[in-house]
Amino acid sequence: MIKTSDIERPSMEFLKDLSGISSATASGELKRLGITNPHILGPIARTPGKKIVGPAITLQFMPKREDLTSSTEAIDQKNAEYNDPEKQLHRHALYHTQPGDIVVVDARGDLSSGVFGEMMLTYFKGRGGLGVVIDGCIRDFPMVQKLGLGLWLRGVTPNFHTQTNIFPFAVNVPVSCGNVLVIPGDIIVADDDGAVVIPINLAPQLLKKATDHSEWEDFSRMKLAEGGDLRKYYPLTDEARSEYENWRK
């Protein structure tokens, strides 16, 4: 029987604190903490307006190799999708789902294979999953977009996943997704700007830094919207800062 590792999850409180941070803020602060580029490039927001924050379950695909995909070899060609489903590792990734989880899939940028379909994602949603970030595709998008999950995808396809050139190879191992290394249990922040990986050990520092920012930015934003001078209000000059202090009162 197949047995895959689970991930360690931070406390719900901690995740709640992080949930106010945008992917842009996370990326900016991570830069200051030494991470040049935490952006998962390729998968884009397919559920506009959605924003999710949570720990990453990872799933890794590899190029198909017929001597290793034994579940494929043994199967009844007429009914391939359902035969021996317990050998299909992409199912095992979902078995780990706990409320608030996010599944990150290295599907090798493949545009011909649907990693998950409606049934799998309905199950994921039923278990409390928040969303998926896939360097590849899902299928059944007409129905899946209504499930309420957040979806960051390279594309969509009508094909299912055993149809073409890749197969699920490992669960909860380090993966490269969109040219970023993701360790199982890292925090994902995803919104309309894209998905960002926060290394779990840097998350507390990031949280602290990110909250300093926002107050004076509200003032600057207001001033700039009124036609205020960028040189004065962003960043705040000394003069603008005292204006800000007054406004704040």
User: Is 98 an interacting residue with respect to a copy of itself (CB under 8 A)?
Assistant: no
Q: For a copy of itself, which is the closer residue by CB, 127 or 244?
A: 127
Per-residue x/- track, 53-82, a copy of itself (CB under 8 A): ---------xxxxxxx----x---xxxxxx
Range list of H helices, 33-146 = 70-74, 89-95, 118-126, 141-144
Work out which of 15, 75, 87, 95 binds a copy of itself, going by CB under 8 A.
Answer: 95
Torsion sign over Cα 129, 135, 141, 146: positive
User: Is 164 an interacting residue with respect to a copy of itself (CB under 8 A)?
Assistant: yes
Residue type, 5: S
Is the Cβ–Cβ distance between 224 and 234 less than 8 Å?
yes
Q: For a copy of itself, which is the closer residue by CB, 15 or 145?
A: 145
- At closest approach, how far in Å is the CB of 235 from a copy of itself? 4
Work out which of 16, 31, 208, 248 binds a copy of itself, going by CB under 8 A.
Answer: 31
Residue whose structure tokens are 């894209």 = 194
Residues 206-245 that bind a copy of itself (CB under 8 A): 217, 220-221, 224-228, 230-231, 233-235
User: Is 135 an interacting residue with respect to a copy of itself (CB under 8 A)?
Assistant: no
Range list of H helices, the chain = 12-18, 23-32, 70-74, 89-95, 118-126, 141-144, 203-225, 230-233, 238-248
User: Is 47 an interacting residue with respect to a copy of itself (CB under 8 A)?
Assistant: no
- Residues 200, 3: Cα–Cα separation, whole Å: 24
Q: For a copy of itself, which is the closer residue by CB, 17 or 30?
A: 30
Query: In the beta sheet, which residues pair with residue 219?
Result: none
Residues 2-21 that bind a copy of itself (CB under 8 A): none
- At closest approach, how far in Å is the CB of 65 from a copy of itself? 5
Q: For a copy of itself, which is the closer residue by CB, 37 or 242?
A: 37
> Which helix (DSSP H) or strand (DSSP E) does residue 104 occupy?
strand 102-106
Calculate the alpha carbon distances from 8 to 187, 190, 213 in Å. 11, 20, 29
User: Is 142 an interacting residue with respect to a copy of itself (CB under 8 A)?
Assistant: yes
